Structure 1
Amino acid sequence: MVPGKRGTDRFSVKTLIDRSCFETIDDTSPEFNNFAAILEQILSHRLKGQITWFGYESPRSFWDYIRVACRKVSHNCICSIENMENVGSSRAKGRAWIRVALMEKHLSEYISTALRDFKTTRRFYEDGAIVLGEEANMLAGMLLGLNAIDFSFCLKGEGLDGSYPAVIDYTPYLKFTQSSDSISSDEEELRTLGSSGSEGSTPENIGPPFITDENSWYNKCKRVEQKYRLALEQKGYLEELVRLRENQLSECVSQNKLLLQRIEDMDLAHKMEKEQLEYIIVELQDQL
């Protein structure tokens, strides 16, 4: 069941990106509702309960983990979510955080920061949890593509009340139609696989040619366009990584400046204290 959720998460991101090319993504989009439900179930998978004073285990929400593990994210929205008047339950706050993080285009940064804090993650999750697996780091990379989408959400609706669990609807995936770029990419993979095994195949196993003379140039153009789009996506991904690294570098530089200023202030205070002690010693010697 767990690998299925991982594959469904990849497919939900893909369908969400494809749908954003035709319409604005908001709470009425079934692709977004499925994506949010899948992400909520991934973050809730094998989440440990909280032990009370009487030794009982009370259930937790993934928001309890996020608000602790994502405190180090610069300019985070944790305090804003905590102070929302119309969002009361922990599950509702987690759902509000997903929407705010998507609108701020920082969801990937939140997830990657939380997963890097392995000590906190281990404290909140049991063995076998998705976030503790080897493929957990791929989640942040998949979510990075959502930064290209402009989301619009209302944080005052009934969908945030947290009174019901997240349910995945597989209907949009069953009726989803691949775009021409995706089909071209799949065809290219099939050709690659076919050419790699052509040496060991017999003439009886060779079927009719996949590309006819009439549409060969059209398919070549589509492949070039697919490679161009892939290069643009990789360029956007690298630019986003550079932006994150620049933000981390600027934050480290500012912290370094603060530490240097603090050291200078401590040196100055130490010199002043030393001068005061020397003055007191001189006065005591005069009195003696």
Structure 2
Amino acid sequence: MAALSLCRKKNACRNAAVERKNLITVCRFSVKTLIDRSCFETIDDSAPEFLNFASILEQILSHRLKGQLTWFGYESPRSFWDYIRVACSKVSHSCICSIENMENVSSSRAKGRAWIRVALMEKRLSEYITAALRDYKTTRRFYEDGAIVLGEEANMLAGMLLGLNAIDFSFCLKGEGLDGSYPAVIDYTPYLKFTQSSDSISSDEEELRTLGSSGSESSTPENIGPPFTMDENTWYNKCKRVEQKYRLALEQKGYLEELVRLREVQLSDSVTQNKLLLQRIKDTELNHKLEKEQLEYIIVELQDQLKTFHRFGHLSADASLSQISFDPGHSQDGNGKHDGSRLSGGKEETPSLLGLCGSLTSVASYKSLTSLKSSECLASPTTEMTSPGLTPS
């Protein structure tokens, strides 16, 4: 058991060392590609070389970063911006305060990505990294053993970033690159080179065939002499070459599996976001449909009210015209206008007669009433009072 634990510990140390070396090597390659790209055009957020460099630098600064302990003893994840904010606080004329006060950047990871862009535009990224690494106490407090910033690779990192001061960068601090919800993914494909020719394949097959045939011959008692007469160094070199090629293929297989895993995570995130967007679109369409129905109902009500208003206006106009036309005081005959207070024969109208005339609805009935009044069927109250044959009681 002790040997097994010791072997596991050695393997973990070896894997950590390989990881640190690979990150530093890839960072050097990315800096070189950035410098080559800057000779032809300005580097901005759309350049894939810069996006890959920013992901690599974020991975380096986040390598073996300690979490933050809460009141309940749990360790919450932390971003490299927390370390940069403390370690670079003493740098003169730094951009730390301005990035900390940015309104459109809320998460810690997004602020760290904004700091990388601002430091590149200021051409002071190497200066910030050097100042942070000099504060060894703060670095030790934020990182665990085996981190890149605590090893010898940190000095190489500050030196290789110095070459970026010759590049003019132009970034927008309001784009999607500052979204802290997406992890930093490194694309290793531009830095991999597969040069396996047919000769190497045939030599590998021949070596494996030689090893297999030698092993089979050594197992038979007839051919004991020739295999053992071979040089021991030759055996050792052949086995060493095969082992190296096997390890290389194993590392490439691990890289491809990790790349597939990252792509699957990105695909699942994209599917989730697509579902959320589709649900949002359905909700928006439903709200628009309800608003449209409400507006149509309001339009129908307004049209009904408008029709009622026009109908009421026509009725009031007809009523006013009929009142003007059928008013006994404004009646006319063929000879012209006459005084409405006098009837035919120069006799005054009584109150009962005026009330009766007001209740008439046509000129014909009014004329018939006048003819009746002038005949013997109706008598004026004044004539009855002044008749010589009658005396008032």
Q: Same fold (TM over 0.5)?
A: yes
CA 217–77 in structure 1, closer or farther in 2 if over 3 Å, else same:
farther
Q: Is 1:146 aligned to residue 168 of structure 2? A: no
C-alpha distance after superposition, 1:115-160 (max 9, x if no partner): 0100000000000001001121111110010000000000001121
Secondary structure of the residue aligned to 2:222 is helix
Q: Which moved more, 1:132-141 or 1:59-68?
A: 132-141
CA 99–280 in structure 1, closer or farther in 2 if over 3 Å, else same:
closer
Secondary structure of the residue aligned to 1:53 is coil
Question: Is the 1:30–1:172 contact (alpha carbons within 8 Å) kept by the matching residues of 2?
Answer: no
Query: Per-residue deviation at 1:161?
Result: 1.5
Bigger relative contact order (CA 8 A; separation at least 6):
1
Distance 1:158 1:172 in 2: 23
CA 284–56 in structure 1, closer or farther in 2 if over 3 Å, else same:
same
CA 137–269 in structure 1, closer or farther in 2 if over 3 Å, else same:
farther
Distance 2:145 2:276 in 1: 40
Q: Which moved more, 1:260-269 or 1:128-137?
A: 260-269
CA 88–264 in structure 1, closer or farther in 2 if over 3 Å, else same:
closer
CA 54–19 in structure 1, closer or farther in 2 if over 3 Å, else same:
same
Question: Is the 1:181–1:226 contact (alpha carbons within 8 Å) kept by the matching residues of 2?
Answer: no
Distance 1:220 1:266 in 2: 69
Query: Per-residue deviation at 1:23?
Result: 1.0
Distance 2:93 2:276 in 1: 18
Question: Is the 1:185–1:223 contact (alpha carbons within 8 Å) kept by the matching residues of 2?
Answer: no
CA 85–132 in structure 1, closer or farther in 2 if over 3 Å, else same:
same
- Identity within the alignment, %: 91
Distance 2:35 2:207 in 1: 21
CA 55–272 in structure 1, closer or farther in 2 if over 3 Å, else same:
closer
CA 100–224 in structure 1, closer or farther in 2 if over 3 Å, else same:
farther
RMSD: 21.6
Distance 1:170 1:150 in 2: 25
C-alpha distance after superposition, 1:181-237 (max 9, x if no partner): 999999999999999999999999999999999999999999999999999999999
Q: Which moved more, 1:208-217 or 1:165-174?
A: 208-217
CA 169–53 in structure 1, closer or farther in 2 if over 3 Å, else same:
same
CA 229–196 in structure 1, closer or farther in 2 if over 3 Å, else same:
same
Q: For residues 126-137 of structure 1, what are the structure 2 equivalents within 5 Å?
A: 126-137=144-155
Which has the larger Rg?
Answer: 2
CA 40–278 in structure 1, closer or farther in 2 if over 3 Å, else same:
closer
TM-score by length of structure 1 reads 0.58
Distance 1:167 1:241 in 2: 9
Distance 1:28 1:255 in 2: 22
C-alpha distance after superposition, 1:62-87 (max 9, x if no partner): 00000000011110000100111110
Q: Is 1:56 aligned to residue 83 of structure 2? A: no
CA 176–158 in structure 1, closer or farther in 2 if over 3 Å, else same:
farther
CA 89–16 in structure 1, closer or farther in 2 if over 3 Å, else same:
same
Q: For residues 156-195 of structure 1, what are the structure 2 equivalents within 5 Å?
A: 156-174=174-192
Secondary structure of the residue aligned to 1:74 is coil
Query: Per-residue deviation at 1:54?
Result: 1.1
Distance 2:52 2:116 in 1: 13
Question: Is the 2:217–2:227 contact (alpha carbons within 8 Å) kept by the matching residues of 1?
Answer: no
Query: Per-residue deviation at 1:172?
Result: 3.2
Question: Is the 1:47–1:126 contact (alpha carbons within 8 Å) kept by the matching residues of 2?
Answer: yes
Question: Is the 2:214–2:227 contact (alpha carbons within 8 Å) kept by the matching residues of 1?
Answer: no
CA 258–31 in structure 1, closer or farther in 2 if over 3 Å, else same:
closer
C-alpha distance after superposition, 1:67-115 (max 9, x if no partner): 0000111100001001111101000000000000000000000000000
Question: Is the 2:42–2:170 contact (alpha carbons within 8 Å) kept by the matching residues of 1?
Answer: yes
CA 269–151 in structure 1, closer or farther in 2 if over 3 Å, else same:
closer
Distance 1:98 1:282 in 2: 60
Distance 2:131 2:269 in 1: 15
Q: How many residues align?
A: 277
Distance 2:83 2:34 in 1: 26
TM-score by length of structure 2 reads 0.43
Query: Per-residue deviation at 1:61?
Result: 0.1
Secondary structure of the residue aligned to 1:198 is helix
Secondary structure of the residue aligned to 1:199 is helix
Query: Per-residue deviation at 1:53?
Result: 1.0
Distance 2:300 2:134 in 1: 57
Runs of 4 or more above 4 Å deviation: 174-286
CA 261–169 in structure 1, closer or farther in 2 if over 3 Å, else same:
closer
Question: Is the 2:217–2:224 contact (alpha carbons within 8 Å) kept by the matching residues of 1?
Answer: no
CA 44–234 in structure 1, closer or farther in 2 if over 3 Å, else same:
closer
Query: Per-residue deviation at 1:253?
Result: 59
Secondary structure of the residue aligned to 1:152 is coil
Question: Is the 1:86–1:156 contact (alpha carbons within 8 Å) kept by the matching residues of 2?
Answer: yes
Which 5+ residue runs of structure 1 have no aligned equivalent? 1-9
**2:299 aligns to what?**
281
Question: Is the 1:13–1:35 contact (alpha carbons within 8 Å) kept by the matching residues of 2?
Answer: yes
Query: Per-residue deviation at 1:173?
Result: 3.2
